[in-house]
Amino acid sequence: DHIIICGYGRNGKQAAKKLLNYKKSFVIIEQDKAIIDKHQTEDILFVLGNANEDELLLEAGVDRASTLISALPSDADNLFVVLSARQINKNLTIISRASEETSYKKLKLAGANNVILPDRIGGDHMASLVVVPDLIEFIDNLSIVGESNINIEEIHVNKLYNVRANVKTIKDLDLRNKTGCSVIGFKGSNGDYVVNPEAETKLVPNSKVIVLGRPEQIKKLNIIYNLD
């Protein structure tokens, strides 16, 4: 139930750094021995070799992993890894990097669940900085992952009240009065999202709410409802 990261370049390194912050266990496949030697002292598990070989993927435990992140510099190499990993493990969540727009569909066809184009995200970000600079500053400063200072959380409604007894609405929960947090989103049991849901929205079993708050409010919410 671990994560495999293929490639410890700029992209893979940043993903690893974030996962380390979140105390997730992962192993990195990297073919450059010099890179591994350089980071040997850190608390990171490396497998030396080419992620394009099935033996290496198996050595990293691809058959029992939960997630694979393919962050190699070449789109062709990522495609090869995605296809190989999907063949071995049907239940794996596969996230791949891509440089070219045209690789997006190919990687999806090969079995990737998510494809990330760093230059597209970067370009979007630059344009947004021009058009809505304050908004971007606000959103960039929202913290969604980490140990503390979290601003947004997604919560199963099952954790907020006894869904088997009666179905409550967002209003019934009264999160704003109890914790200070605001409900900004709702994900129905069918997977559909509602932004800024109505107070009357019914919190059916297996739905989720997305809440926004200052760190102290999020902390209060976690304590009151005994979340993680």
Judged by CB under 5 A, does residue 134 bind Ca ion?
no
Q: Does 130 bind its own copies (CB under 8 A)?
A: yes
Which of 57-65, 99-107, 201-209, 219-227 is the region at the interface with Ca ion (rule: CB under 5 A)? 219-227
Q: Please enumerate in sequence order all residues whose Cβ is within 8 A of that of 116, keeping only pairs 6 or more positions apart, or say none.
A: 95, 96, 97, 98
Q: What is the full DSSP assignment across 197-227?
A: --TT-B--TT-EEEEE--HHHHHHHHHHTT-
Strand partners, 29: 6, 47
In the stretch 169-208, what mask flags binding to Ca ion with x, by CB under 5 A?
----------------------------------------
Rounded to an integer, what distance in angstroms lies between the CA atom of residue 198 and that of residue 18? 34
93 vs 98: CA distance, rounded Å: 16
72-101 residues near its own copies, rule: CB under 8 A: 93, 95, 97, 99-101
**Residue 25 touches its own copies, criterion: CB under 8 A:** no
145 binds, among its own copies, Ca ion, none (CB under 5 to 8 A by kind): its own copies
Q: Could you list the residues that contact Ca ion (CB under 5 A)?
A: 222, 227-228
